[in-house]
Amino acid sequence: MPVNDPVVAEQTPAADFTIEQKWDRYSTEEHAIWTTLYERQMKILGNRAVPEFFKGLELLNLNEGGIPDFRRINEKLEALTGWTVVTVPGLIPEKEFFEHLANRRFVSGRFIRDGEKLDYLPEPDIFHDVFGHVPLLSLPVFADYMAAYGRGGLRSIGFDAIKQITRLYWYTVEFGLINTPEGRRIYGAGIVSSRAESIFSLEARSPNRIHFDIERIMRTDYRYDDFQQSYFVIDSFEELMEATYQDFESIYQRLRGQSDLKPSQIIQGDKVYSKGSQEYALAGGLLKQAAAL
């Protein structure tokens, strides 16, 4: 739980870990941080993000300035795809997270990052959660994917496969790329909400870019503290949905006999768009960030 948000600290979460957003309690400074982040990121994204992301920003009026009021977002979002955004105090257990997604509720933190550390994020804040994730929930096929993922996540608990299903979320919802007629674009929230990774993921020589394969992704470890060493690319959101709309039991059974893959690894059968140099990771990651871009 973020210690710098007294509005969070004063509330007792419900059984499903939700709390009230209490939008009227945000300070002028907190709204200004959101606006700074929004304007900065929109300048970076340009033609790097998928068009549906920008459409979602408009449909949900996330471009009005200041931290969005979930009550206003939810009126529009629920009418479009049946989703709502709910507030939680921080990271919540996997079971409850999956249950919220399966029931078309996207969980968001309330707090916003320190204005003096705009690029430092010890855990996801409201800018990452809402700016990064919520726009694509206005797109029916992606909204359906997220709900299907939630149902799959609940089922994964019975197969002791949370690690595998989490990798799928990581390499799609958080750090996914997509091919479009205009070129490769970002759709993953972890990239869309990051100034540096928006450039790195598409333009740096360092990472691998490999076509989406659900079983291969479930074998692949990831970097949780730095830029990714591999990004997986879909051809369409329909491809993503179709691949997810299946019973993963047979995949889990096959994976039990296979070793995990390193984040930088390329294997036989991969459709590789670009084999990365891995120079960024080899140089020490974030400490060498400027030289890698």
Residue 39 labeled ligand binder: no
Tell me how long the chain is.
293
- Nearest to residue 86, comparing CAs of 126, 46, 58? 126
Q: Beta-strand (E) ranges in the chain?
A: 84-88, 105-109, 177-180, 183-186, 208-211, 230-234, 272-274
CA distance 105 to 84: 5
Residue 100 labeled ligand binder: no
Residue 174 labeled ligand binder: yes
| Residue 268 exposure: Cα atoms within 13 Å on the Cβ side | 0
Q: Dihedrals φ, ψ of 273, to 5°?
A: -80, -40
| Residue 52 exposure: Cα atoms within 13 Å on the Cβ side | 21
CA distance 277 to 68: 40
DSSP conformational letter for 123: S
DSSP conformational letter for 259: P
Q: How far is CA 82 from the centre of its chain?
A: 19
List, as residue ranges, the binding site.
128, 133, 174
Q: Which residues are annotated as a binding site for Fe cation?
A: 128, 133, 174
